[in-house]
Structure 1
Amino acid sequence: MFRRSRAALAQLPTQTWPTGGLLVGGAARDILRGVTPGDYDWVVPDPIKAAIALAQAHGGSAFPLDQERGYWRVHLPDGVQHDFVPLPDDLNADLLRRDFTVNAMALDAAGQLHDLTGGQGDLRARRLRMVSAANLHTDSLRAWRAARFEVTLGFRTDAATEQTVREVAAALAAGRLTLPAPERVREELHALLGHRDAARGILRLEELGLLALTVPELREGIGVAQGGFHHLDVFGHGVEALHQLLVRFADAPLPLRWAALLHDVGKPRAHALSGGQNFYGHDKLGAEITREVLARLKLPGDDTARAASLVGAHMLPLPQNDTEARRFVHRRRVLLPDLLALMLADREAARGPSSSPASRHAYAAALDRVLAALKDQPAAPKPLLTGSEIIALLDIEPGPKVGQALRALNEAAALGDVKNPQDARAFVQNWAAHPPSNEAQAQAHK
């Protein structure tokens, strides 16, 4: 293990290692297992001096994280982050306050290891073991971190640690411990969701009693049978859809991952509203619930809106011909290609009695039509008329009718029915003379 750590340490530029500094926590753990860290945590005699020196040597930016406590951070041009905190008066006591033994080690510049808790042996055994039960109760977020490390590091939690995690979850549920800040839980969830085996992590959160404290809405689907295309209950299907997504799209963005997991989150409530008869409207209910869940976890507004929009659109019928495919692209361009990835993951996660190789093939062919239409027209055609030109052409006042005409014209252009301004003027005049029904207008907005 020392041989591997020294080899990894040798890859660091000499000017990176701060004078008198120690590498601690996850960075030390990764170096010891032969993995180059993405972020570095240092304890140093002079954080300001160390941060500025590193930033100047590598063209990065240094700034204070907490001026009172002397915490500094450096962002380097390659995206790597270095955090510097003051060297503690008692290094051993500092290490003994950490979460897990594999994170309670420190390395010096010579590759010498400070390891009071047997973390190096746990690394060899790929074992996740708490430093103490008190440490997990002191910061309950560490319960979520245990589930995350199981997935992202591929470690096995030892029995005593798992029992303590369950006790922390129970204490949180009973109100005996205070829940961590939503932002902190979100970061643990995103570290888990960012891994290719995220679906297993969601199941692990459920096993440990943590999912009920995180996204209780997902648990409403446990035991809700679906039948038809489905072989799993609503909860299991959502987890499987996330798995199917990541098998096919390893670089799926976080809003799409959330949408895959939550796409059917509205089914239990829709089922209850129908008296147990059907799941009609679950897509719209699911979009509302998705907004509530992600807002509670303090996701950025744009990410929340995109995930909710994907959930709300996942039941759209797929086109059966090329014209319908172009219309689908025009109306849903802002959600593509993520919406197609979600719909494919949803279908591939359903292997019930109504599902068959032929039905899955037909579904894939419909997806291919949309992809082909998107490839043919990757951007919306340039508008052929402006709102002002439509107002003048039809001699009408500004109002909703102008927007309706613009939408109809833009869709006709996307379908190839209108190709130039002259055609556009004729189209708008004909549209005004034979206005579409309210139902047709509503369909165009779906």
Structure 2
Amino acid sequence: MFRRRPALPPFPPGALLVGGAARDWLRGAAPKDFDWAAVDPKGAARATALQTGGTAFPLDEERGYWRVHAGADVQHDFVPLPKDVTEDLLRRDFTVNALALTETGQVLDPAGGQADLRARRLRMVSEANLQADPLRAWRAARLEVTLGFRQEAATEAAVRRVAAGLAAGLLSRPAPERVREEVHALLRCPEAARGVQRLENLGLLNLTVPELREGIGLTQGGFHHLDVFGHGVEALHQLLSRFPEAELSLRWATLLHDVGKPRTHTVNPETGRAAFHSHDRVGAELTREILTRLTLPAAEVERAAALVKAHMVPLPSGEREARRFVHRRRALLPDLLSLMLADREAARGPESSPATRHAYALGIERVLEALEEQPTAPPPLLTGGDVMALLKIAPGPAVGEALRALAEAQSLGEVRTLEEARALVLAQNARLL
């Protein structure tokens, strides 16, 4: 049932390949993260670094934990070989991870993981193991979706109990960066939208991004046929069906683009129509809070927040407006267009029609044509010093305003020469006097 098994790298002397790497190899997938239990972790790491051209470094030298970055996203981790391998494997999370492989091809399988692999079944080794490290609840959702397995009933019930225990404060919450890594592994897979739904079904979304749950049951009408939560999940699905290589910041922005709607929801008493004024601005702030809490890098946080804030910007109706759109939002392109398209394609309410979707697609096409025509901003014709000398003014806001107006005029093709640039700055200054 599995693909032909790929070649494995050389085994360090007396070492075992354990956990997910053994699992992936048995199912015919080429591992990228190799976990080794070695007699001499330091020596094994250095030998592997020489073989692969990678770099070896200690993770915890006192405990003998080493890592090798071998390039092309391949990583090797080395830990000391346990005295009792069976006991060590039985402390793991799921049976498909409680496997070890010897250099001769013998499989150590004390929990019946090979049978579960064949059945595409995710089964816990024990509930005590899940309780011992509650992060394993998130891992259950991630492995189920990324491997295409199903949780067996007892395991799913145990995962729900872990989630309930965490929510009640009976279990210690995992560090945010550990949760982030599991969620990111889920978001990177093609079925990420289903994964988000699975987090909700298992009681884990409330422990991860509770703000998303505020949109459950909040109907919108108009162009929308789903509640706010369902629409965000569907938008993520639409994004990945069209742009499977989308960066994580874009995936987060798409999922969270309407996260501000529940907190801006109002109803017109005369028409009964729902409104969500400034939900883009509120959503951007919430996105910043959520992703900061999950300890994403600052640059990714700010990009996702900026995309959420800009997702309601009207698309241009003509070529000149398209050039202005590109000039003002160049730093967010083409990701902003991908988000906007996913948002619109996820909306199939009574006001949505093939004609409106076609008109929206034309607006996106205009922007893409303008971006292709001018992929980078034209070099500035004047500097801040030039503006100050021309206007005989000191540094201040007026200089910045003049440079911004000039940059836009250049992008629109209205100013092309140094003389035209000076004339524009002088004319703008005269209007302000």
Normalized against structure 1, the TM-score is what? Answer: 0.95
Aligned CA distance change for structure 1 residues 272 and 167 (closer, same or farther; 3 Å): farther
1:79 to partner: Cα distance: 2.8
> In the alignment, which of 402, 405, 409 is matched to residue 405 of structure 1?
402
What is aligned with 1:439? none
CA distance in 2, matches of 1:349, 1:181: 33
What is aligned with 1:93? 87
CA distance in 2, matches of 1:420, 1:392: 18
Whether the 8 Å CA contact 2:3–2:29 is kept in 1: the answer is no
Q: Residue type of the partner of 2:339?
A: L
What is aligned with 1:394? 391
What is aligned with 1:428? 425
What is aligned with 2:12? 18
Partner secondary structure for residue 40 of structure 1: strand
Aligned CA distance change for structure 1 residues 427 and 33 (closer, same or farther; 3 Å): same
What is aligned with 1:337? 334
> In the alignment, which of 313, 318, 322 is matched to residue 321 of structure 1?
318
> In the alignment, which of 380, 384, 388 is matched to residue 383 of structure 1?
380
Moved more, 268-277 or 91-100: 268-277
Moved over 6 A (4+): 273-276
Moved more, 217-226 or 274-283: 274-283
Aligned CA distance change for structure 1 residues 388 and 273 (closer, same or farther; 3 Å): farther
Partner secondary structure for residue 85 of structure 1: strand
Q: Residue type of the partner of 1:360?
A: R
What is aligned with 2:345? 348
CA distance in 2, matches of 1:118, 1:366: 56
Within-5 A mapping of 1:39-438: 39-271=33-265, 277-435=274-432
Whether the 8 Å CA contact 2:388–2:394 is kept in 1: the answer is yes
CA distance in 2, matches of 1:66, 1:53: 18
CA distance in 1, matches of 2:288, 2:131: 31
CA distance in 2, matches of 1:259, 1:79: 25
Q: Residue type of the partner of 1:253?
A: E
Q: Residue type of the partner of 2:280?
A: D
Partner secondary structure for residue 56 of structure 2: strand
CA distance in 1, matches of 2:368, 2:71: 36
CA distance in 1, matches of 2:395, 2:224: 49
Partner secondary structure for residue 434 of structure 1: helix
Q: Residue type of the partner of 2:408?
A: E
Gaps of 5+ in 2: none
Partner secondary structure for residue 375 of structure 1: helix
What is the aligned residue count? Answer: 430
CA distance in 2, matches of 1:22, 1:371: 52
CA distance in 1, matches of 2:317, 2:216: 34
Q: Residue type of the partner of 1:304?
A: V
Identity score, percent = 67
1:153-194 Cα shifts (integer Å, max 9, x gaps) = 000000000000000000000000011100000000000000
1:193-245 Cα shifts (integer Å, max 9, x gaps) = 00011000000000000000100000000011000000000000000000000
Gaps of 5+ in 1: 437-446
What is aligned with 1:440? none
1:277 to partner: Cα distance: 4.8
1:17 to partner: Cα distance: 1.3
Q: CA RMSD for the aligned pairs?
A: 1.5
CA distance in 2, matches of 1:58, 1:274: 65
CA distance in 2, matches of 1:4, 1:341: 34
CA distance in 2, matches of 1:338, 1:4: 35
1:357-389 Cα shifts (integer Å, max 9, x gaps) = 000000000000000000000000000000000
Normalized against structure 2, the TM-score is what? Answer: 0.97
CA distance in 2, matches of 1:142, 1:77: 28
1:272 to partner: Cα distance: 5.3
Partner secondary structure for residue 290 of structure 1: helix
Aligned CA distance change for structure 1 residues 4 and 346 (closer, same or farther; 3 Å): closer
CA distance in 2, matches of 1:155, 1:353: 37
1:12 to partner: Cα distance: 2.6
